[in-house]
Amino acid sequence: MENLHFSQLIFAQAKKYGEKTALFHREELNDGWSKISWNLFANQVSSIAKAFVEIGIVEHQRVAQFSQNKAENLIVDFALFANRAVMIPLYATSSATQVEYIVNDAEIEIMFVGDQLQFNVAYEVMLQSKFLKKIIVFDNKVVFPESEQIIFYSEFVKIGEKSSKHFEVEHRQNESNETDLACILYTSGTTGNPKGVMLPHSCFKEAMRLNTMRLTSLSDNDISVAFLPLSHVFERTWCYLCLFNGISLYINLRPTEIQQTIKDVRPTLMCAVPRFWEKVYAGVLENIATFSPIMQGVVSWAIATGKKYNVDILRKGKKPDIFLKFGYSVANKLIFSKVKETLGIENANILPVAGAKLSDEIALFFRSIGVPLVYGYGLTESTATVSCFDYINYEVGTVGSIMSDVEVRIGEENEIQLKGKTIFPGYYNNPEANAAAFTNDGWFKTGDAGYIKDNNIILTERIKDLFKTSNGKYIAPQEIETRLGLDKYIEQVAVIGDERNYVTAIIAPSIPALEEYAKRNKLKYETVDELLKLPQIHELLQTRIIELQKGMANYELIKRFSLIRKSFAIETGELTNTLKIRRAVIMQKYKSLIDDMYSK
């Protein structure tokens, strides 16, 4: 379709698709899916846009959304775009301190919130803020004190429905241009305060063009599930791409419900981070381990056949011979189709995955059994995609080939640097960060190291996350953490070793998996703490760590590790909102454990 400005997009799609369903949503897992047609979507965008005018929103004003994924998020987005206003999404798990920082930095006066938890945090901020003046609540079950400053979203909709400000909105739509800011996305950095990434409409417009050109199998017959937070650039840009292409979106409200949602919806499209597929992979392997030796042999044959068919032949654009076709059809019927149906992904068209390192082993496994994972690389600052797997000739071990019209070069310290229309113009209200982020000749410095081979990007490490042992050896902890994260007994791991003489790790194990192992091996213990102290448990994990680190240099090997009962969490500050490890926080919190590992 014509690459319209987002202020006009939903109205154009309503004219094209009418009563076709644009959005599906539900409040509870057992509820039926409620439908919002393209016509209703456009009508609600119009109502909210007029309501914004009624309460005095001006062009370029910044408005926040602090909520789990909801259909209302997207309606509010496009109503703001129609007013030339700016959307600032906050992670639903943000603390009052994090919310307050963004409110002050962006001078936010109006905030939409989701449930009671988010309201309580926002209200705490509002009581102390000189900026935040109004809270609009999505969930009608939220309890709040009577105040002219707080209203339900349903009341806000009625303000717009009664409004006659259509001409004011239309005027703003007509004045909209590509240089207008669409969003400011605050990155949840592993150190320091978050930085507000300014994304003008030009960045999104170019992202729509490039991704539609690359992903040629997308059509308005597809259905996608919005699972990652809409505050994440990956999901936000993907949802916009779906709407741009007339694709119906199912909005998954709670991340914990995603497995059931997938089985209910059986989508053709869905974004996910590598951790999601790591857990699926671990579950599949665990299930295979229960098979008889004969059946395990059948599975091994099927996977090998799938690799020959999908990876060795089809990936290279070749045609399989009749024998391989027959073998694959048998493998698919006996094994692969059942795995995909169990997971709910048997209809998959493409399944984009990005946001962290994806193990080559996992990518190869799913591609071999016919699951179309499309691994890619991008940043908030690049409006998501810089590179991704293509339909054929993709290379496992890379993050895919570079998108058309995105310029990539390798700078000092092998840093990947970017230029192009999807690259952001700078951080909001942060000249120091802007000076550090760009080279003198205008290239954005990603902070990721790597190289380019045959137009594919190969990532090697995160430059700022590298540490150096006291022996002068550089360690890329993410590589080690990715390997160990594949193990069913390891839930999370933080590698330690900066300025130390060897590498150690803090490991949050999978307690259920260890309990099952203890039961199977008749190990005696009373509490979880006692379980984690058993010599047999440490021997088990030591053996598995040695196996997982095979092929790595001696100085990269984990020499000691400590087990912790509670997993790293966003709420305790050990993880960012995008689930990246805050190593400095972990090192401080577990200082005594770490010191002990080096004192023995």
pLDDT digits (tens, 9 = 90+) for 228-285: 999 999 999 999 999 999 999 999 999 999 999 999 999 999 999 988 998 899 889 9
| Angstrom distance (rounded) from CA 389 to CA 378 | 12
CB 392 within 8 A of CB 311: no
Alpha-carbon Rg for the chain, nearest whole angstrom, is: 25
Pairing of strands 223-226, 248-251: parallel
**pLDDT mean over 117-126:** 97
User: How does DSSP classify residue 492?
Assistant: E
| Angstrom distance (rounded) from CA 225 to CA 228 | 9
User: How does DSSP classify residue 567?
Assistant: P
Q: Using DSSP, state whether 37 is helix, strand or coil.
A: strand
Q: Using DSSP, state whether 348 is helix, strand or coil.
A: coil
CB 581 within 8 A of CB 505: no
Instruction: Tell how many helices (H) and how many strands (E) occur in the chain.
Output: 22, 25
Asked if pLDDT for residue 600 goes beyond 80, the answer is: no
**pLDDT mean over 563-587:** 86
Q: Using DSSP, state whether 82 is helix, strand or coil.
A: helix
Domains in the chain (CATH in brackets) are: 6-176+215-270 (3.40.50.980), 466-599 (3.30.300.30)
In the structure, what pLDDT confidence band is assigned to residue 510 with cuts at 50, 70 and 90? very high
| Angstrom distance (rounded) from CA 217 to CA 135 | 41
| Angstrom distance (rounded) from CA 42 to CA 9 | 9
The CA–CA distances, whole Å, from 176 to 88, 127, 173, 195, 211 equal: 18, 34, 5, 26, 23
CB 85 within 8 A of CB 62: yes
Other Cβ atoms less than 10 A from the Cβ of 170: the count is 14
Share in percent of the chain as helix, strand, coil (round to 5): 45, 20, 35
What percentage of residues in the chain have a pLDDT greater than 70? 99
Q: Global pTM?
A: 0.87
**pLDDT mean over 126-136:** 97
CB 267 within 8 A of CB 297: no
Tokens coding 591: 């200082």
| Angstrom distance (rounded) from CA 55 to CA 575 | 37
CB 504 within 8 A of CB 558: yes
pLDDT digits (tens, 9 = 90+) for 166-204: 999 999 999 999 999 999 999 865 556 889 999 999 999
| Angstrom distance (rounded) from CA 152 to CA 247 | 29
| Beta partners for residue 199, in sequence order | 183
CB 470 within 8 A of CB 498: no
Q: Using DSSP, state whether 217 is helix, strand or coil.
A: coil
pLDDT at 95: 87
In the structure, what pLDDT confidence band is assigned to residue 482 with cuts at 50, 70 and 90? confident
The CA–CA distances, whole Å, from 151 to 68, 223, 289, 535, 549 equal: 18, 33, 54, 57, 55
| Angstrom distance (rounded) from CA 244 to CA 9 | 7
Strand order in the sheet with 269-270: 34-37, 21-25, 248-251, 223-226, 269-270
**pLDDT mean over 16-42:** 96
Range of lowest pLDDT (151-155, 184-188, 270-274, 472-476): 472-476
pLDDT at 288: 92
CB 510 within 8 A of CB 490: yes
Burial of 578 per CB tally in 10 Å (0-12, 13-18, 19+) = buried
Distance, first Cα to last Cα, the chain: 65
Q: What is the mean pLDDT of the chain?
A: 94
pLDDT at 190: 53
| Beta partners for residue 426, in sequence order | none
- 3-state secondary structure string, 441-477? CCCEEEEEEEEEECCEEEEEEEHHHCEECCCCCEECH
In the structure, what pLDDT confidence band is assigned to residue 479 with cuts at 50, 70 and 90? confident
Tokens coding 424: 């952001």
pLDDT at 552: 83
In the structure, what pLDDT confidence band is assigned to residue 580 with cuts at 50, 70 and 90? confident
**Of the candidates 206, 211, 201, which has an alpha carbon nearest to the alpha carbon of residue 245?**
211
Range of lowest pLDDT (416-425, 444-453, 471-480, 511-520): 471-480
Phi, psi (deg, nearest 5) at residue 40: -65, -40
Tokens coding 83: 């007013």
| Angstrom distance (rounded) from CA 378 to CA 382 | 6
CB 472 within 8 A of CB 403: no
pLDDT at 191: 56
Pairing of strands 62-66, 110-113: parallel
| Beta partners for residue 417, in sequence order | 409, 445
In the structure, what pLDDT confidence band is assigned to residue 576 with cuts at 50, 70 and 90? confident
| Angstrom distance (rounded) from CA 242 to CA 246 | 6
Range of lowest pLDDT (18-22, 494-498, 560-564): 494-498
Asked if pLDDT for residue 515 goes beyond 70, the answer is: yes
pLDDT at 173: 96
The dihedral formed by the CA atoms of 488, 490, 491 and 497, expressed in degrees to the nearest 10: -150
Q: Which helix (H) or strand (E) holds 276?
A: helix 274-288
Task: Give the contacts of 267 (CB within 8 A, at least 6 positions apart).
Answer: 223, 224, 225, 250, 344, 345, 347, 348
| Angstrom distance (rounded) from CA 316 to CA 511 | 42
pLDDT at 282: 87
